[in-house]
Structure 1
């Protein structure tokens, strides 16, 4: 189950194209050169399988299919799935009609490595990144298009106003690079904001020397009150006074790089792991 089975013609517009659905956050990319640039952001090294999220009418898919890789697509929209089935028969049974956020990738990729790419729906793009972090042991590369503000946040560096939870958590495991900006005019319908394309390459050693769950908890708790010093924002950890006198607690979260958050977690770990 899960593979698409043809159910007849979808209700498309007069020119045969799929209508964008606002509730799915669909903005179809129409610029072929941008699609080709996005497809080229992956190195296709160290893996031979690629999963495209939200292919729509396949403008990016066609360029992925030119690469030496086994391309899979995952799409929740029935109309788009039918369109892809009709126009990209070479995908065969590699069209998966599912919500990626609820999808068990093991049913398709087992424990094999695969890259993820896409023109990601704005309304779930952050959740997609969090799922990629959960699957990091299988995903050596990840690239695609986000709302520009989100892409900048993921790639932001400490001291920058865009720097936050996503920046720290992603950069602890991946090298993050903001590649280029895309204007609204290359989409149908055009979004109200600019888009940004980024690439994440998993670090050679992506294991943490600290407790990973605690690391996530420390980062998220710290940024919930980002204007406060860590001494105040991490009060819920109920840390001993002698630890809270450490100079690192005088800093605000946006002043710490991911490595400093790892160091902070190591300091907290003897007192906090049992309280998770």
Structure 2
């Protein structure tokens, strides 16, 4: 939907600034490992990979994803589209899958963590994630992280509490799956979707709110759960950032910001950090 701007913004950045991004990533080094955490279908990253292959840059692409099927599909796609590209997919949790790479291979490592996924972490989870990421990097290694930036609360609310009802259906679908997969008996009409945004903290929070006192049984667990009227069920966190906070985060974990790649509306930034 047009209101959900994040994907379009990052796709615009990669499309319009691919030359600058590749130059910044590969500066002073014509051979490196490009490691993408949560690679998915690799749609945006393929834009960079195509450019690297065209420029005969010696890149080894290492997509990391928890889904074995997603990895297999991506490897097959890239083998067909970019046969000259070296690809080695890793399946599993980011840091468990990356343990074999922790030693210095002699190649610069470039980590990608795109899509504003870092915004789904709490403060504690963010600190842990960046600490672990820093521990995998040696001096000169780089990290590119996608951050959704603070902006008009109206723009953000339209993206996360959209007029089409997609957000509501997305969150209610969790209850649909519980009904199908755990034998629960959620009545979807007994829950209301609620989204809030706090401009100070930059936190978007989504809840499902129980409209009545109710009991829900889960057959597969052999348990029942009671919900009070107006009791909220926390569903999602999506945090928004400013450039100053991003720079502080980088510094606190042994990096410095090298480049900031932003879309034309300054809604989103892909921030490139280098390890000191």
Q: State the TM bucket, normalised to the shorter chain.
A: 0.3 to 0.5
Q: Which has the higher contact order (CA 8 A, sep 6+)?
A: 2
Q: What TM-score do you get using the length of structure 2 for normalisation?
A: 0.46
Q: Which has the higher strand share?
A: 2
Q: What TM-score do you get using the length of structure 1 for normalisation?
A: 0.46
